[in-house]
Amino acid sequence: MTLRFADKLVFGLLFAAGFLLLASLVLFNFGSVLAFYLLSSTMIVSAAGVVLVRDVIRSAFLLALSFLCMGGLYVTLHADFLAAAQILIYAGAVSILFVFGIMLTRKGGKGFPEYSVDFKFFAFIFVFLGVLVLMGQAIFRGQWRIEGSTTPADINTVARIGELFFSQYIIPFEIASVILLMALIGAVVIAKKDEVSEESKYGG
């Protein structure tokens, strides 16, 4: 395989960029800043992809990518248990659930009908002018009572969260378990209902 000059140029530039990146990581302790910008930009872009891509199955995989990046953001916030839970529950379970939902409810072939571009444009204006301006006002005008310190990285969050679950938040914890059981049974009953009636309709 022979490389053309343009390929060599691209590879050289990539190597130079990588070297500069590593050097800046080491020299300026730039890692957490870089991690935040990389993870949040990937999260936002893939979230926009979920909404904008026409093929629903692709948006399911972009959804998983977005959830993974959010797990990384939890790591930058020193919430390690939550990051693991995010990746297990969202990037693992919920994304697969969506993939199943899409595959079970999709007619093969033609793409899904969408609203007109005009309507989307109005929705875009409404959301990004309305919501973002309001939230920007709240974020940048608000007086947050920020402590000087942040959550230390070496804290044992699993043990602390477990203690909170079994002391202060014991009632919500139990209610959450009941809700999960209800959702489990309810989902089975709802998804099964029509199949049974259809079987009885056709004499099965």
Partner 1 sequence: MAGKFLTIGLEHYLVASALLFAIGLFGLITSRNLIKVLMSVEFILNAANLNFVAFSHYVTPHELTGQVFAIFVMTIAAAEAGVALAIALSIYKHFRTVDLDKIHLMKW
The token pair that represents 102 in the structure block: 């899409």
Complex with partner 1: residue 14 or 89, whichever CB lies closer: 89
What is the DSSP track for 95-142? Answer: HHHHHHHHHHT--SSSPPP---HHHHHHHHHIIIIIIHHHHHHHHHHS
Residue 115 interacting with partner 1 (CB under 8 A): yes
Residue 182 interacting with partner 1 (CB under 8 A): yes
Instruction: Please list every residue from 152 through 171 that binds partner 1, using CB under 8 A.
Output: 152, 157, 160-161, 164-165, 169
Residue 38 interacting with partner 1 (CB under 8 A): no
Instruction: Please list every residue from 65 through 104 that binds partner 1, using CB under 8 A.
Output: 66-67, 70, 73-74, 76-79, 81-82, 85-86, 89-90, 93-94, 97-98, 100-102, 104
Instruction: Please list every residue from 120 through 139 that binds partner 1, using CB under 8 A.
Output: 120, 123-124, 126-128, 131-132, 135-136, 139
Residue 179 interacting with partner 1 (CB under 8 A): yes
